[in-house]
A = this chain, B = another copy of it.
Amino acid sequence: MSPSEAFTVDPWGITEHGLDLPGQARAESVFALSNGHIGLRGNLDEGEPHGLPGTYLNGVFELRPLPYAESGYGFPESGQSVINVTNGKLIRLLVDDEPFDLRYGELRSHRRMLDFRDGILRREAEWTSPAGRTVRITSSRLVSLTQRAVCAIDYTVEAVDGPVRIVLQSELVANEQLPGGAGDGDPRAAAVLEAPLAAELRHADGLKGVLVHRTRFSGLRVAAGIDHVIDGPERTDTAAESSDDQARITATTVLHPGQKLRLVKYLAYGWSATRSLPAVRDQVEAALTAARYTGWDGLVAEQKEFLGRFWGDNDIEIEGDVELQQAVRFALFHVLQAGARSEERAIPAKGLTGPGYDGHSFWDTETFVLPVLTYCLPDAVKQALRWRHTTLPMARERAAQLGLAGAVFPWRTIRGEECSGYWPAGTAAFHIGADIAAAAVRYVRATGDTEFERTHGLELLVETARMWRSLGHHDAKGNFRIEGVTGPDEYSAVADNNVFTNLMAQSNLWNAADTALKYQHESGLLGVDTEEAAAWRDAADKMFVPYDEQLGVHPQADGFTDHQMWDFEATPPEKYPLLLHYPYFDLYRKQVVKQADLVLAMQVRGDVFTAEQKARNFAYYERLTVRDSSLSACTQAVIAAEVGQLDLAYDYTAEAALMDLHDLGGNTRDGLHMASLAGACIALVAGFGGLRDHTEQLSFRPRLPAGLQRLCFSMSVREHLLRVDITHATTTYTLRRGSVLPVLHDDEPLRIEAGKSVSRPTAKVADAGERPTQPPGRAPARRHGQAGVKIGSVDHLAAE
């Protein structure tokens, strides 16, 4: 079954009919539930068949050695890998001693539905066992957005055609066997990751079970607990048992046709690097008690209320493309899930939906996910940035190790230490520091949270500014140069004066100086004096940005436009993604771009490019950009829209939005692409909405592609909730909360007041010129047109 056939198109949910075994791992990612704290892949209740079983706790990882054929100073020796923790989703069913397994017997019907409005994954199955007995199974699963330690499952089995003996085994299982082995072929890593949990406590009694384990090397204590409410015929027996890696509550009964056995399972997790075993165990038991007290219906009601509020304030409505409507709600739903309750933990590149990229967080979070959350769930942004702030000691240590001042944040990490094993695409990507700083500045601007700014933002800005100041240098002409670094495009590395990096560093330095001035007392405590702030301003003012006068475009870094062109004509489709088929040395030295780099600079620092430069640069880089990363289409959409290439922008928007639903990267099985999902929202809001937030005042340039009739979105800005409703004719701004908010519409200052919508004509694009071309075979799929290209998605090295 092709990815696009697997799921129905429905504006408010995803439904899968039947079961697509080869696509099962993909569906498990799509149907993953999470609250940012706990993540459950959409594995079947009965555990098997599975694509990839997965239960993840934010921040629970194991350490593993990072090996090098040839080592070097500062190469991280230890990596962090997310682990599949104790599985509490398991409810095994025996029907007359025949295990309920969809691969055997006859599956008369099977349906799974994820509803974005209540966040519940529902399932209905009717199955005839090999022995000929038919049962009907319904289950609902949630990961609570209101009680962050809690998940719950409502599981019912009903006899259809005759009396059946039913056994339900509701389990906790630690150290599940994973398919294919762990550790990327490194036997040492595999040994560490295969059974990462060492048993500390096991307990089962009545309808309750608890397991406490500890990771061997990272020393994290993980407790999982289950409790149940069972409702069945009179003679329903239960039993409890446990072993080191298992706790099991069994319910047995005989069901006559029409009779049901219902089991509500509450599942709670607690984990800590420091707290004692009894403390973590008690925490889990307390969470279970609270969950039972709330009850299944109560948890469902809370979930509905939470999501109702979220959608009420933050829905993005589209008219004219129901598939895109579904995809963008899917995107928003998963971005919400990833960030909602991450609370001083990282938001990984895959959220908690799969083990891809080892569960690491990258710049994806600050660059793609947080810009979306800033205007819909600002508290999640605060939490994510507070997490970065907690890692400052590690980032300072890393800076010292690298001979730099301030803080060097890791390119990839779970806890905060650098885990990148290939420095040209890891350590050298210093822009992560500026990405974090920009996210903090955007958050403060959007929320007015000066308390955060004073207590956390300032220090993030100061320490990253210090890093930039020590990384760069003034040349003989006084220009400030940043050399030997890697920008967003991973098909170039270790270049001088990457435009994106230099411009982001420039903002970082200016913002640090401004914020230090604003909080003189606090910045003084951080050791900032006027000389230091002046040095930041000086570096920022003199920041060097290369420009190729001859071609009239910005090289993405010094000398880039002098490089040999990649021979796209001689590159057949099966050689994409290029990094799996060509050596880095060849990619690095030629003009070929994996993902938006200079084009991203034109989005995030659009203020320093003229409209003509944007159009010329965009056209130039379109010809070079192969999109071997899912972190590209959304940015290309935004700039395509800005330069008036609305159809192209539309194509890119759809690509970003359908990345996972259509499995465009071919690796949705390992988890969802949070940056691309968030990017789809960015493409709509910053692309067709034309939102820019370079200054205190939001600015819009709404333009709609022919394929869409209407685009409507809302944004929380401080105490305001602004609604922007765009049709081809008119754009209407309404304040749904707050009193008055000034915005810019096509550079015209508007004052949006409570109760008074302001409408302006939506501008038409006069003549944007020819549609820019992409490398042969790398054009995005035409929306409502011919089939598109399979894009390869390897967002983060290493090649997998």
Contacts and interface: CB of A to CB of B under 8 A. Distances in A.
Nearest to A567: B403
B585 A797 contact: no
B579 A72 contact: yes
A495 to B, nearest CB: 9
Contact of A403 (B421, B426, B473, B583): B583
Given A564-B483, A589-B483, A799 B73 contact: yes
A69 B73 contact: no
B71 A798 contact: yes
Contacts of A103: none
A789 interface: no
B403 A69 contact: no
Contacts of A401: 583
Given A68-B67, A562-B475, A580-B73, A402 B588 contact: no
A485 B67 CA distance: 25
Contacts of A483: 563-564, 589-590
Nearest to A558: B559
The A interface is mostly helix, strand or loop, or mixed, namely loop
A402 to B, nearest CB: 5
Contact of A69 (B67, B428, B563, B582): B67
A235 interface: no
A496 B559 contact: yes
Given A68-B421, A483-B564, A73 B585 contact: no
A417 to B, nearest CB: 13
Interface string A758-800: 0000000000000000000000000000000000000001110
Q: Point out which of A66, A71, A475 has the most chain B C-beta atoms below 10 A from its C-beta.
A: A71
Contact of A427 (B73, B564, B583, B797): B583
A161 interface: no
A310 to B, nearest CB: 37
Contacts of A97: none
A788 B499 CA distance: 45
A423 B496 contact: no
Interface in A546-588: 558-559, 562-564, 579-586, 588
A79 interface: yes
Q: Point out which of A76, A403, A427, A475 has the most chain B C-beta atoms below 10 A from its C-beta.
A: A403
Nearest to A583: B74
Q: Point out which of A70, A186, A425, A586 has the most chain B C-beta atoms below 10 A from its C-beta.
A: A70
A799 B71 CA distance: 6
Contacts of A423: 583-585
B797 A72 contact: yes
A620 B76 CA distance: 35
Contacts of A72: 422, 579, 583-584, 797-799
Q: Point out which of A68, A184, A496 has the most chain B C-beta atoms below 10 A from its C-beta.
A: A68
A448 interface: no
A425 B68 CA distance: 14
Interface residues of A, number: 56
Contact of A582 (B73, B420, B797): B73
Contacts of A562: 475, 481, 496
Contacts of A484: 585-586, 588-590
Interface string A378-407: 000000000000000000000001110000
A69 B583 contact: no
Given A70-B797, A581-B73, A583-B427, A494 B422 contact: no
Contacts of A422: 68-70, 72
A349 to B, nearest CB: 15
A76 B562 CA distance: 30
Given A475-B562, A559-B558, A564-B473, A588 B69 contact: no
Contact of A70 (B70, B188, B421, B559): B421
A75 interface: yes
A79 B74 contact: no
A425 B424 CA distance: 13
Contacts of A130: none
A70 B69 CA distance: 11
Contacts of A188: 187-188
A798 to B, nearest CB: 3
A75 B185 CA distance: 15
A68 B798 contact: yes
Interface in A457-485: 473, 475, 481, 483-485
Contacts of A66: 69
Interface string A169-190: 0000000000000001011100
A71 B582 CA distance: 13
A257 to B, nearest CB: 57
A483 B67 CA distance: 29
Contacts of A580: 73
Interface string A58-91: 0000000011111111111001000000000000
Contacts of A585: 402, 423-424, 427-428, 484-485, 494
A599 B170 CA distance: 74
Interface in A478-518: 481, 483-485, 493-494, 496
Given A72-B579, A73-B799, A403-B582, A589 B496 contact: yes
A470 B586 CA distance: 11
The 6 A-B residue pairs with the shortest CB-CB distance, nearest first, are A69-B421, A484-B589, A70-B798, A67-B67, A66-B69, A74-B583
27 contacts: A67-B67, A67-B68, A67-B69, A68-B421, A69-B75, A69-B76, A69-B798, A70-B420, A70-B421, A71-B184, A71-B798, A72-B422, A72-B798, A74-B582, A74-B584, A402-B585, A403-B583, A423-B583, A424-B424, A475-B562, A483-B563, A483-B590, A484-B585, A484-B588, A485-B585, A493-B494, A494-B588
Interface of A: 66-76, 79, 184, 186-188, 401-403, 420-428, 473, 475, 481, 483-485, 493-494, 496, 558-559, 562-564, 579-586, 588-590, 797-799
Given A72-B422, A403-B586, 18 more contacts: A66-B69, A69-B76, A69-B79, A70-B797, A70-B799, A73-B579, A73-B799, A74-B584, A402-B583, A402-B585, A403-B582, A423-B583, A423-B585, A427-B585, A481-B564, A483-B564, A494-B494, A494-B585
